[in-house]
Amino acid sequence: MGVICVLPARISSTRISRKPLQPLAGRTLLEWCWRAASAIRSFDRVVIATDSDEIEGCARGFDAEVVRTRSDHASGTDRVDEAADLLGAAEDDVVVNFQADEPFVDGGAVEGAVRRAEEVATIAAPIRAEDEWRSPAVVKVARAADGRALYFSRSPIPFSRDEPEFGTRARLRHVGVYACRRSALKRWAALPESTLERAERLEQLRALEAGMRIHVELGPWTEPGVDLPADIARAERVLSSKEVRG
């Protein structure tokens, strides 16, 4: 079994213009994410998948391996699926979709997800603040006792009827990394867009709605990724500090 990490990257973004090329602490967001992925010992190969000349040029500038994919993909999962084909991934290989706006992912949690990827595995981290729990930009996950994902939502879940405020109840933020067996990724990408996926704009609901099992690996609290313009200053501050320490 091999483990291939693919970072899907497109130039357009709904919230941050040209997000992968956003400069942060002397590097692009794309390079920070590639460096984070490259530091994870489970990966045999780390590849950036894009349809953009600019992103390819940027990636080759920091010596990343690049694979060119089509421009008509509706989601990162679809782009990663094409990349897996182009890279010759075997049915039993694990293909990791490492989203190119998550520079703070915990490597240990990723390695745990790779180990638990019987079909699909992903990561969750604790939510510390009420505004994070209530923000539609933050994806939340409800998890069963055996680790299965029950639901992902932009709404504040789980909601307690008897304790509607944030309180001390444990709540989880979904982290945008998926470890998939090649066969499971192929099945996921072949599914049509689902009703829940369309409503929440969350591609993982397509797999969940079709009955696929998604294991949720619990990791420690980490800085959230870069999703909104307001995240840029925070990310730059943290990455600048990381660069100084390094």
Taking the CA atoms of 60, 18, 186 and 176 in sequence, report the sign of the dihedral they define.
positive
pLDDT tens for the chain, 246 residues long, are 899 999 999 988 777 889 999 999 999 999 999 999 999 999 999 999 999 999 999 999 999 999 999 999 988 999 999 999 999 999 999 999 999 999 999 999 999 999 999 999 999 999 988 888 889 999 999 999 999 999 999 999 987 777 666 665 679 999 999 999 999 999 999 999 999 999 999 999 999 999 999 999 999 999 999 988 989 999 999 999 876 454
Which residues touch 77 (CB under 8 Å, ≥6 apart)?
A: 97, 178, 185, 188, 189, 203, 206
- Distance (Å, rounded) from C-alpha 172 to C-alpha 109? 14
CATH superfamily label, 3-245: Spore Coat Polysaccharide Biosynthesis Protein SpsA; Chain A (3.90.550.10)
For residues 192 and 98, the answer to whether their CB atoms sit within 8 Å is: no
Sequence ranges of the domains in the chain: 3-245
Predicted model pTM:
0.93
Instruction: State which amino acid sits at residue 111.
Output: E
Q: What is the DSSP string of 112-129?
A: HHHHT-SSEEEEEEE---
